[in-house]
């Protein structure tokens, strides 16, 4: 007796399900251990990552507390105790905390008169390739300032040249680097170069008043009228600023007409 179409479809479905089950059983028999092992390994790896990330966050929190404690000891005139904390942090902390600890320890040494030791610590920070370049540049400037009396002017100029020649001085350590270079040029008797650098410093809008005052005075002494230059630039900016509203008003009038 022939099966109806309905029975044929049901039979085919049963056969298809049996084949699929057989294939799945075969796969699990052959590769089941590997599949389960891979899943477990992935879960362990993910759990390990979460644990590592948690430990990293906890370590950063501990390092921040240690750094704050060192600063508090400095504020209460305990430089030796602070130095001990900073040295521990420099040995165990991540690159950023290590750099801050070394730079602060260098400042303590400089205040005590140990300029050589201070410069050596700053040199370590300046040479640390794991740090942001801006922090390394600052360390190089501080190192050069600590060593200045023992360096030849040509060495100072060569060290500071990349910072002085930066394309965007406003966002770098240009002012500090330029002052060191200008002083070195002055010592060499190259007064034109010194005056030009002092003039550039005097024109910067965001330098400290003391540095700006020194730069204006030195530039003027070397024949560069930084005061007049600043006045001219200020007037030009004011004129440009007042021209903008007038242009906008004129544009609105034209639209209205």
Sequence spans of domains, the chain: 81-150, 152-236
- Which comes out higher in pLDDT, residue 20 or 109? 109
Question: For residue range 10-52, what is the model confidence (pLDDT) as tens digits?
Answer: 555 655 565 565 665 665 566 555 545 555 555 555 554 444 3
Higher pLDDT, 80 or 48: 80
Is residue 168 within 8 Å of residue 197, measured between CB atoms? no
Q: Are the C-beta atoms of residues 129 and 163 closer than 8 Å to each other?
A: no
- Between residues 202 and 15, which one has the greater pLDDT? 202
Domain 152-236: top CATH class: mainly alpha
Where residue 179 falls among pLDDT bands split at 50, 70, 90?
very high
Instruction: Assess whether pLDDT exceeds 70 at residue 160.
Output: yes
Range in 82-86, 107-111, 147-151 the model is least confident about:
82-86
Report whether pLDDT(2) > 60: no
Closest CA to 165 of 194, 86, 173: 173
Least confident of 86-90, 125-129, 164-168, 253-257: 253-257
83-108: average pLDDT: 83
How far is residue 71 from each of residues 75, 94, 109, 110, 121, measured CA to CA in Å? 6, 18, 15, 16, 18
Residue 185 pLDDT > 80: yes
Q: How confident is the model at residue 137 (pLDDT cuts 50, 70, 90)?
A: very high
Which pLDDT score is estimated for 235? 44
pTM flag (> 0.75) = no
Q: How many CB atoms lie within 10 A of CB 182?
A: 29
pLDDT at 209 over 80: yes
* Position 176 pLDDT exceeds 90: yes
According to the model, what pLDDT value does residue 17 have? Answer: 62
Residues of the chain with pLDDT > 70, as a percent, come to 58
93 Cβ neighbours under 8 A, 6+ residues apart: 63, 66, 101
**Residue 35 or 167, more confident:** 167
Above 60 in pLDDT, residue 154? yes
Q: Tell me what pLDDT residue 8 has.
A: 56
Token output for 58: 């906890």
Across the range 43-68, mean pLDDT stands at 53
Please give the pLDDT value at position 25: 61
Q: What is the pLDDT of residue 226?
A: 76
- Rounded to an integer, the average pLDDT of 221-247 is 59
Q: Which token pair is 71?
A: 């600063």
């Amino acid at each position: 007796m022939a099966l109806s179409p309905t029975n044929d479809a049901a039979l085919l479905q049963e056969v298809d399900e049996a084949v699929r089950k057989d294939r799945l059983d075969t796969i699990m028999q052959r590769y089941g251990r590997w599949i389960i092992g891979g899943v477990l390994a992935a879960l362990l790896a993910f759990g390990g990552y979460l644990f590592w990330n948690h430990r990293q966050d906890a370590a950063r929190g501990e390092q921040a507390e240690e750094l704050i404690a060192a600063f508090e000891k400095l504020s209460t005139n305990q430089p030796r105790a602070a130095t001990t904390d900073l040295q521990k942090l420099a040995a165990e902390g991540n690159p950023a905390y290590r750099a801050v600890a070394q730079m602060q320890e260098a400042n303590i040494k400089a205040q005590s008169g140990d300029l050589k030791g201070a410069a050596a610590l700053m040199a370590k920070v300046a040479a640390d390739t794991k740090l942001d370049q801006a922090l390394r540049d600052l360390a190089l400037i501080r190192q050069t300032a600590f060593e200045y009396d023992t360096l030849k002017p040509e060495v100072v100029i060569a060290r500071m040249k990349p910072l002085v020649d930066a394309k965007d001085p406003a966002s770098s350590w240009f002012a500090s680097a330029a002052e060191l270079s200008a002083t070195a040029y002055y010592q060499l008797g190259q007064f034109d170069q010194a005056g030009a650098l002092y003039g550039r410093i005097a024109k910067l809008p965001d330098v400290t008043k003391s540095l700006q005052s020194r730069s204006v005075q030195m530039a003027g002494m070397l024949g560069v009228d930084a005061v007049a230059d600043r006045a001219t630039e200020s007037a030009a900016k004011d004129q440009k600023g007042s021209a903008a509203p007038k242009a906008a008003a004129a544009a609105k009038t034209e639209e209205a007409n």
